[in-house]
Structure 1
Amino acid sequence: MFTFLGCIALLIIGYFTYGKYVEKMFGVKAARPTPALTQADGVDYIPMSTKKNSLIQLLNIAGTGPIFGPIMGALYGPVAFIWIVVGCIFAGAVHDYLTGMISIRNRGAHLPELATKFLGKAMKHVVNAFALLLLLLVGTVFVTTPADLLYVLMDGKVALFLIVGAIFIYYILATLLPIDKIIGRLYPYFGALLLISAVGVFIGLLVTGANIPEISLSNFHPANAPIFPLLFFTITCGALSGFHATQTPIISRTTQNENQGRKIFYGMMIAEGIIAMIWAAAAMSLFDGYNGLNDLLAAGGPGLIVSEVSKMMLGGIGGTLAVLGVVVLPITSGDTAFRSARMIIADYLNFAQRKFSSRLWIAVPLFVISLALTQIDFNILWRYFSWANQSTAVIALFVGAMYLYIAKKNYWVSLIPGTFMLVMVLAYILNAQIGFRLPMTTSWIGSAIGTVILVALFFHTAKKNRALALPLEDDVSNWKKAA
């Protein structure tokens, strides 16, 4: 229990210390008008309050990742706690803050546009393809997972295809309508369910005196659970997730002032890390060790763990509310995944989105493709999602490092976690069944060589961009704030 509570305390301290340092180092410009004001269009660029933006940001980025990922990551033992804390403070929250703030400085641009500007034009098509693949996978995965949870919750009394259809209808409306019409209005209620589930399980762990394992040299992780590189693809959203780089620009377009950025971007990632800690601790402590947890996962996957934990901690009614809180997470990420995909395609094609028909032309093909993807085995989809997710995180961290290098600021805060994850991403795809299936030793060697080459290319490009004085932000000098 001391390790668990200490890790949560470290996450909170990280927000007030390292988060404050990153904010100060980046250099907030409170007087600079944000895209919510300069680009206002009544659809995607709409000024909203800090409280509402923070809640939407949390629900956007917190899909099943900070719950399902830590539950599966619990099989690796207490080392999962370390990755959640270190990853969240020094990688995930930095990733989210930089992508959000750099987007604000560049008209609310999405990651493909930012990568094109800061990493070179050759990255434009690559990053667009990566981002769209990731968002389609996220949207599809986050149709099937909440549908399965709801099907179990209703004891199979409602056909699964009807539940899937209802979720798709909601996603279509959330993708097409202005952000303040559905997302802005429903998310406060969804947020309440999320808080009930997380806080309820946390209190339950404390009251019942759950036997949460402490970190020690003897139980750091089970002997049959090698942590490199798989741990970093199992626990993603609770520590570092490239999916967040596709979501922060949604809120960068509704943020009223740059000084709200730390609370919205860095702070909500810390909140997600706390959620991940709670579910990892529950999974480690409530099922008679790793063998019991593994048996339950084999029997019903993470969804069964969620249901069992909720009932054990909160009883029948409270457990039902907790499961609904978990259902909310993928739904509130799936809707914005499709919305983000629409916005990225529109930016790529320079296709204005004020007209409903313009949004429809882009959205319909996305949902048709996603519907087809639901026919593919979930486990295969999840593996590709995990790799695409962390690959996108690497791109976003290198964008942040490039921005800071050109600005002559501490680019290491982004380059170090970016380089670490680059090693993991390359090693994973070289070794994995969905990749090249090379021996692990060969994969590590290939990963090291690839990382050295790509980091060297980064510094070459960075020095050139700094010498050319690449503009870091869009000019808003001619914008006049309405009286």
Structure 2
Amino acid sequence: MNGLTLLVGVCVLFLGAYVIYGRCLKRWFGIDPARPCPSKTHEDGIDYVPTPMAVLFGHHFASIAGAGPIVGPILAASMGWCPAMLWIVLGCIFIGSMHDFAALFLSVRNEGRSIAYVIEHELGYYGRQIFLFFCVASLILVVAVFTSQIAESFISTPSVASSSIFFMALAPIFGVLTSRRILSLAEGSLIFVPILFILVWFGTVVPIDIPKILGCTPETATSVWIVLLLYYGLCASILPVDFLLQPRDYLNSYLLYAMIILGFVGVFAYQPDINTPAFVTDEPLVPKMFPLLFVTIACGACSGFHALVASGTSSKQIKNEAHILPIGYGAMLIEGLLATLAIISVCYLDLPALREVTKGPAPIAFAKGLATFSAKLGLPYETGLNFVSLSISAFMLTSMDTATRLARFVWQEMLLPRGANPDQLETAQAQQGKLRSFFSSRWIATITVVVLSGWMIFSGESAQIWPVFGASNQLLAALTLLAVSLWLTRTKRPVLFALLPMILMMVISVWALVFLIIENINRSISLVTISVFLLAMACILIVLAVKAMAKARKA
């Protein structure tokens, strides 16, 4: 198999899926372009902000992409490229993209509220609280892990740190000029996108090397970056979305597009043969391929985190229901293309070389692969390696600050009384007394999330319990599809297209949690405890869902 043939084939399948299956989803859900969206009916200039589709697509895509679709597929390649690619293609088309579309649609139809509101409507108050607790725990870990990884990348490649800081300073200027109509989006893009790429180069000229600047050890410097990054996440969560988060994600998305284009052109020029076996039969993990393959690839095919992005920030910014298909369904398909590039970037190696390169960080293996391909275009290997590394760090930073904001939303929603709306927060706080009002305020909610994330990083727990959250991410997707299936059943719409993927994802995630409990029963008490806790929450929600489904069918 040639890598170019594989890439072109996936592109054709995804394009066909977008046109054909996307049209079916629009009809089944009832997309109505004339219906007012919550970004207009609840506009507040902070979270609810009507946003041009190109800007929102950039924000949404940069937020969901992260390092997940790169790391997962590369790790899964050790089981053979064929099972990984089958799950990426089929998972993206029929599960992951549909999941993102449905989560975004339901949130838009429910005034920009999170998917937890839909769960409360279908499963009751306690179902909502269990789901929200699950979400906030997952998001705190996401913030902790990405913050730690970004800090380590800043230490290993100081130019990435300086370029990232330059991007943060550039974004508010772009945001103010475009939001106040001083520049149109097209004019702003023509000016600021070239500046963005100039800053990529300028970062290599003035690298911020904390160990040299402060005369400290790399470990101390990493801790300094962690504190600074957490403070940045706090600010990004509090500030109006169109001041920092939205324009930075929009500009950063051009790095992502450029990296994907570089990967595509590099594959066309290099035309790598796939030398890794289609199926690996001597790997110890092969007998455990089901469910490990699915939870390892995770974001490359389906991710519950995307539902939190879609219903947490994107639904509050979308200005027309017609944009749900390209943003919800289309962005996930492009993420599937990124996952395909990740597979090709390491599977042009033979199996021993693949195993050797994946002993190190997966993003570095990806960067080395793309740099090798792009060298065929005349781009120096080191330049390609630095650019791809910077792009991956930008994805992680985008995921980190978005996850911080989402965790704040979920924390505040978790403290709302039964049946209250998130946009009625101040009224709800007044009704609940001073204590709940204090903990659900925007500042305290964000500080709590940041402090808990920092505690996990410095205690070392984030690295220890990370494996269980591969399964929890898939479980989150299954629970979202559970809410979607209940809504479709209650509204008398076709349901099998969501119900069957929900059952598959539920089986995979529950199986993975049971597997992790058995594997770690004598190794890690904390990991086993969390796995049991997540499994118990999932079982409770499943019981509530079965009762709700039976009730909906009788109605």
Task: Give the alignment's TM-score, normalised by structure 1.
Answer: 0.87
The one-letter code matched in structure 2 to 1:206 is F
Unaligned runs of 5+ in 1: 439-449, 469-483
The one-letter code matched in structure 1 to 2:243 is K
1:301 partnered with 2:361: yes
1:271 partnered with 2:348: no
Deviations 1:113-134 (A, max 9, x none): 2211123333122101100011
Q: 2:62 aligns with which of 59, 62, 86?
A: 59
Deviates more, 1:269-278 or 1:4-13: 4-13
1:331 partnered with 2:397: yes
The one-letter code matched in structure 2 to 1:297 is T
Structure whose alpha-carbon radius of gyration is higher: 2
Unaligned runs of 5+ in 2: 160-207, 211-220, 375-380, 417-424, 430-436, 523-536
Instruction: Tell me by how many angstroms 1:245 deviates.
Output: 1.1
1:7 partnered with 2:14: no
Report how many residues are paired: 451
The one-letter code matched in structure 2 to 1:296 is V
Instruction: Tell me by how many angstroms 1:68 deviates.
Output: 0.9
Deviations 1:70-124 (A, max 9, x none): 1112112121111101000100011101010001111111122221112333312
Alpha-carbon distance between aligned partners in 1 of 2:397 and 2:441, rounded to the nearest angstrom:
24
Alpha-carbon distance between aligned partners in 2 of 1:467 and 1:96, rounded to the nearest angstrom:
29
Q: 1:38 aligns with which of 41, 54, 67?
A: 41
Preserved CA contact (<8 Å) 1:28 1:258: yes
1:95 partnered with 2:179: no
* Richer in helix (by share): 2
Counting aligned pairs with the same residue, the percent is 28
Alpha-carbon distance between aligned partners in 2 of 1:50 and 1:318, rounded to the nearest angstrom:
30
Q: 1:165 aligns with which of 223, 227, 238?
A: 227
Deviations 1:419-466 (A, max 9, x none): 00111111111121487759xxxxxxxxxxx99998786454124235
Instruction: Tell me by how many angstroms 1:394 deviates.
Output: 0.7
**Alpha-carbon distance change, 466 to 360 in structure 1, aligned in 2, over 3 angstroms:** same
Q: 1:380 aligns with which of 461, 464, 471?
A: 464
Structure 1 consecutive aligned stretches of length 4 or more whose deviation exceeds 6 Å: 353-357, 450-457
1:318 partnered with 2:389: no
Instruction: Tell me by how many angstroms 1:269 deviates.
Output: 0.7
Task: Give the alignment's TM-score, normalised by structure 2.
Answer: 0.76
Preserved CA contact (<8 Å) 2:145 2:463: no
1:84 partnered with 2:145: no
**Alpha-carbon distance change, 453 to 43 in structure 1, aligned in 2, over 3 angstroms:** closer
Preserved CA contact (<8 Å) 1:8 1:277: no
Residue 342 of structure 1 corresponds to which residue in structure 2? 408
Preserved CA contact (<8 Å) 1:68 1:303: yes
Q: 1:400 aligns with which of 484, 491, 514?
A: 484
What does 1:440-459 align with in structure 2 at a 5 Å threshold? 458-459=545-546
The one-letter code matched in structure 2 to 1:301 is P
Q: 2:251 aligns with which of 179, 189, 196?
A: 189
Alpha-carbon distance between aligned partners in 2 of 1:325 and 1:369, rounded to the nearest angstrom:
27
Residue 106 of structure 1 corresponds to which residue in structure 2? 110
1:364 partnered with 2:447: yes
SS in 1 for 2:298: coil
Q: 1:426 aligns with which of 500, 507, 510?
A: 510
Preserved CA contact (<8 Å) 1:430 1:436: no
Instruction: Tell me by how many angstroms 1:10 deviates.
Output: 1.1
What does 1:119-138 align with in structure 2 at a 5 Å threshold? 119-138=123-142
Deviations 1:381-417 (A, max 9, x none): 3212212211111100111111111121111111111
Deviates more, 1:228-237 or 1:454-463: 454-463
Preserved CA contact (<8 Å) 1:198 1:322: no
Instruction: Tell me by how many angstroms 1:18 deviates.
Output: 1.0
The one-letter code matched in structure 2 to 1:174 is A
Residue 220 of structure 1 corresponds to which residue in structure 2? 279
The one-letter code matched in structure 1 to 2:394 is V
Instruction: Tell me by how many angstroms 1:369 deviates.
Output: 0.5
Deviations 1:272-315 (A, max 9, x none): 11111111111211xx32322222222x2213313422432342
Preserved CA contact (<8 Å) 1:48 1:255: yes
SS in 2 for 1:333: helix
Residue 447 of structure 1 corresponds to which residue in structure 2? none
**Alpha-carbon distance change, 421 to 161 in structure 1, aligned in 2, over 3 angstroms:** same
**Alpha-carbon distance change, 459 to 162 in structure 1, aligned in 2, over 3 angstroms:** closer
SS in 2 for 1:229: helix
The one-letter code matched in structure 2 to 1:383 is P
Preserved CA contact (<8 Å) 1:134 1:385: yes
**Alpha-carbon distance change, 384 to 456 in structure 1, aligned in 2, over 3 angstroms:** closer
